[in-house]
């Protein structure tokens, strides 16, 4: 979030400058602002990915967030089966192929790999709980399992960065 705040400042500063004075960022308007926004007191481990994989990984990440939003929406509608399917296919063990996890994993330190595995496992566990809930209507259990998925996102984000 700090990073986003800094990025916004960079963007706003860019907009406020006289026209044509966008400096080094002008050549790549949508990407350039992410390059130099690391906060000074950032203790996360910087992990180097090849540029293609980095872009690909960040796109996956945005889909992870979208998947969480869709899961919450389906739970709110009582559509446990749909919530389960989204979790398994987009975040769970079934999503490993989809995300090219094998290619990315070899650039990750062990702890980051473990954090990724924890996310896929917890999502598959949520998928099972939500499937059961389609019979039992156990919303609380489903929400608790979903919270455990979110916690795995938080844990990795707290420890690692790729930009
Ligand atoms: C194995 C580690 C790991 C896990 C697990 C993980 N992420 Fe990430 N995610 C990252 C890293 C690293 C970044 C880049 C952060 C940086 O460099 O500042 C990132 C960035 C993001 C971004 C920003 C994308 C962008 O375009 O900048 C979003 C959104 C995101 N993650 C969502 C999620 C969600 C939701 C989950 C859980 C369902 C999740 N992530 C799980 C490592 C992880």
**pLDDT tens per residue, range 11-51:** 444 334 344 334 344 444 445 455 556 556 899 999 999 99
| Average pLDDT of the segment spanning 70-78 | 98
**Span from the CA of 58 to the centroid of ligand 1 (angstroms):** 7
Burial of 140 from C-beta contacts in 10 A (0-12 / 13-18 / 19+):
exposed
**Pocket of ligand 1 contains residue 152 by CB under 6 Å:** yes
Query: Does residue 118 register a pLDDT over 90?
Result: yes
Q: Is 160 in the pocket of ligand 1 (CB under 6 A)?
A: yes
Rounded Cα gap, residues 137 and 141, in angstroms:
9
CA–CA separation, 92 vs 122, rounded Å? 7
Return the structure tokens found at 5: 């705040």
Handedness of CA 144, 58, 89, 74 (dihedral sign): positive
């Amino acid at each position: 979030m700090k990073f986003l705040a800094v990025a916004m400042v960079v963007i706003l500063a860019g907009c406020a400058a006289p026209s044509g004075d966008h400096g080094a960022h002008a050549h790549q308007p949508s990407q350039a602002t992410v390059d130099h926004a690391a906060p000074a007191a950032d203790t996360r481990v910087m992990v180097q990915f090849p540029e293609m994989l980095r872009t690909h990984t960040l796109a996956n990440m945005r889909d992870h967030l979208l998947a969480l939003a869709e899961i919450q929406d389906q739970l709110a509608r009582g559509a446990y089966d749909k919530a389960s399917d989204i979790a398994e296919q987009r975040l769970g063990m079934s999503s490993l192929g989809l995300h090219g996890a094998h290619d990315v994993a070899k650039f990750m330190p062990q702890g980051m790999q473990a954090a990724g595995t924890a996310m896929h496992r917890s999502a598959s566990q949520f998928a099972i709980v939500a499937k059961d809930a389609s019979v039992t209507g156990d919303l609380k259990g489903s929400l608790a399992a979903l919270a455990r998925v979110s916690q795995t996102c938080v844990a990795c984000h707290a420890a690692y960065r790729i930009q």
